[in-house]
Chains A and B, each alone.
Chain A
């Protein structure tokens, strides 16, 4: 069945996003599982020609929000140790930077984290991000701006001795 296959094709991206969003890999996979079942359950309501990816991310993110609301706890910190499962271990220096990134990410407020991830990691357009989060594009932009600045400050990535590496994108 075409629509079912289209859903299955999105699983890797959903897992990546869920993991980046919640940190813990088993919680993330539960979230993806719930999302997929929900999506399959509502497939009859989904209109052909819509954006399947954005629809799935919307479901996933709403489930995550419900979960946060229910538990009303702070989301767990990103467990740094779990990066040991990485197959091609990055160089020491990069490893450190990545550790910084995961910690910095975990300390962002939830609304900023999801925007930074949807755009920076998932490559969603601003418009799709606004649809997924059900907020105006302007809100997405201000969260993106604050989120990226916060990450930059947290990672000390703006020092004056850090020469800007400006690349031309043609």
Chain B
């Protein structure tokens, strides 16, 4: 479309989808009268929408299958509390043991609940679930203010911190946020790849002995965690274990550099 045209490609679709305001719509209709090719496209796009409805709407009118409703009725809603989750998971395991595993399917609790996992790792996973799913406000401070972000979090955690660089592994920094971890400040850095997959690096102060990478998989989220004083780290993501391990090495090496 040449720049002389009063409307662009975006407007053509916005018109079809009812997204132009009244004034602009009227002008668009006038313009359309002089542009039969565009008018033809507009008519075709409208027919597409109508046909989509003609073809698929009956599915929206069908009653919900009884089986689907039954399984929903059996499903529990999980709250936030990891204590409750643990109790529920424990009861579930006992129950499942008693009746031979039936009834496990409907519940969204992994039977392999992370008993014995360091508490900070559970919080890291919880923070990943909450914020990685967030579309509009995934981070408190975005990557454009990376220096400010890192300075701020370093100050709050009491030791100089770095936002690991994962670009070579295909993940760009989205930003980060300050979190509360059992009364202590913790930091979360979020990364995203081309496909929109997100991983988070969770950092909190820790004076424990240096550890190797440990793996935990629960609630759909895989985690590698390790301690390297003065910090403990947890890398979490809904991505395959091997890939996450590769990223964990990149994070580690970037941080000790």
Contact = CB atoms under 8 A, between A and B. Distances in A.
Contacts of B72: 8, 36-37, 40
A141 B36 contact: no
B58 to A, nearest CB: 6
Contacts of A155: 44, 48
Specify which of B52, B68, B76, B106 lies most central, judged by the most chain A CB atoms within 10 Å of its CB. Answer: B52
Interface of B, helix, strand, loop or mixed by DSSP = helix
Interface in A127-170: 131-135, 141, 144-145, 148-149, 151-152, 155, 157-158, 162, 164-169
Interface in A109-125: 116-117, 119-121, 123, 125
Contacts of B60: 12-13, 15-16
Contacts of B118: none
A73 interface: no
Interface string B31-67: 0110010011111111111011111111111101100
A20 interface: yes
B56 A152 contact: no
B255 interface: no
Contact of A43 (B46, B55, B78, B133): B78
Contacts of B18: 169
Contacts of A33: 68, 71
A40 B108 contact: yes
Which 9 A/B pairs are nearest by Cβ-Cβ distance? Answer: A41-B108, A44-B79, A134-B196, A164-B39, A12-B60, A131-B135, A16-B60, A121-B52, A16-B59
Interface of A: 1, 3-4, 8, 11-13, 15-16, 19-20, 29, 32-33, 36-38, 40-45, 58, 83, 85-87, 90, 94, 97-98, 101-102, 116-117, 119-121, 123, 125-126, 131-135, 141, 144-145, 148-149, 151-152, 155, 157-158, 162, 164-169
Interface of B: 9-10, 13-14, 17-19, 25, 29, 32-33, 36, 39-49, 51-62, 64-65, 68-69, 71-72, 75-80, 106-109, 129-130, 133, 135-136, 196
12 contacts: A15-B64, A16-B57, A36-B75, A44-B77, A44-B80, A83-B55, A101-B51, A120-B49, A126-B17, A133-B196, A134-B135, A169-B29
